[in-house]
Chain A
Amino acid sequence: MTSWLDKLTGRKPASANQAKERLKLVLIHDRTDLSEQALNSMKNELLAVISRYIDIDPQAVRINVAQDGREQRLVADIPIRPNTPRRR
């Protein structure tokens, strides 16, 4: 969120915003006891299971932990590929 004044003077983005963005991630991991690696392997396993039942595009999948007040929720957005007739 750099202002036009900052852009004009070529200043670095304000450190307060960096602090806030970094803290957002740190707090999610602290609160859930879920590391970035664990989250990734969970994503991969979920995708593997879902792909067994429906056709999905792994590139379009979004699975993230989001903050909602003091609660964390796992939010998944998994677009399903159109049901193209398959050959038997």
Chain B
Amino acid sequence: MAATVVTISSGKGGVGKTTTTANLAVALANGGLKVVCIDGDIGLRNLDVVLGLENRIVYDLVDVVEGRCRLRQAMIRDKRLPELYLIPAAQTRDKSAVTPSDMVRLVDELRGEFDFILIDSPAGIERGFRNAIAPADVVVVVTNPEVSAVRDADRIIGLVEAEEKGPARLVINRMNPGMVKRGDMMDAEDVLELLAIELIGVVPEDENVVVSTNRGQPVALDPKSRAGKAFTNIARRLRGEQVPFLDLDEKSDLFSKLSRMLRPGGD
């Protein structure tokens, strides 16, 4: 087995990196693969709470790097799925506790045993980001359809190219189809035209994401949620499958349907 190492990054904070990491991990593991996810946000860890595994942490990434435990001891197994593991970040240290070569070494130790290794990058373009992309085979950039997130995504895409980890693949998160209809939100095409990289998924804004995060149960475990479905599709695309993109307009209201009919070619 030779794992594919996927780093999830964004530049800007709060666009949904950790949510994306947790859901891709769950969706891949749900598909029968052996998956480990690593929280790269030392000092501001969150992947543990999003996955609902916060009560089971004994050792963390920095303990492994500094030799206080073996790698295996820091791996928490998620009991809901057969083969999903988390390596949590340290909460009381900072990014400088780990170097890019530490990350490469640690990930190399895991490669033989897993199908996918997912790394949740912290926001920013400093050490934490460098650590997270050092071992990556693929970088997934998460953005939202708004100016600051797209601008930061562009910066990250450029840095990923400069590190010869490109081309990055794009996830557009929190798409609001109603706002797109009204012309008050850029659609996927607009964002793609600006960033000019391959799209790997569009995730609709979905209240279920907040509810599932409240419960520590990633939305990809809920087959009825639209965001969950979108994340599951991204996971399948990461595995190399050809999956058609969801029609985010499924639930479009009567008014927007009418105005579309009245507006030939206006979309």
Chain A: residues with CB nearer than 8 A to chain B? 3-6, 14-17, 19-20, 22-24, 26-27, 30-31, 67, 69-70
Q: Is the CB of B183 within 8 A of A16?
A: yes
Q: How far is the CA of A6 from the CA of B154 in the complex (A)?
A: 32
**B154–A31 touching, CB < 8 Å:** yes
User: Please, how many angstroms separate the alpha-carbon atoms of A26 and B194 in the complex?
Assistant: 10
Q: Among B157, B161, B190, B197, which residue has the most Cβ atoms of chain A within 10 A?
A: B190
Chain A neighbourhood of B180, CB < 8 A: 16
Q: Which 6 A-B pairs have the closest CB atoms?
A: A14-B183, A3-B266, A69-B196, A70-B196, A16-B186, A20-B190
Known: A15-B183, A16-B185. A27 touches B259 (CB 8 A): no
Interchain pairs with CB closer than 8 A, number: 53
Q: A23-B151, A27-B194 are in contact. Are A15 and B184 (CB under 8 A)?
A: yes
- Say what secondary structure dominates the interface of chain B: helix
Of A4, A24, A31, A69, the contact of B158 (CB 8 Å cutoff): A31
Could you show 13 A-B contacts with beta carbons less than 8 Å apart? A3-B266, A14-B182, A16-B180, A16-B185, A16-B190, A19-B146, A19-B186, A23-B151, A26-B147, A27-B151, A27-B154, A30-B154, A70-B157
What's the minimum C-beta distance from B72 to chain A, rounded to whole angstroms? Answer: 41
Any A CB within 8 A of the CB of B262: yes
Q: How many residues of B contact A (CB 8 A)?
A: 26
Where chain A touches its partner, the secondary structure class is helix
- Indicate if the CB atoms of A3 and B263 lie closer than 8 Å: yes
Contacts A30-B154, A30-B155 known; A24 to B194 CB distance under 8 Å?
yes
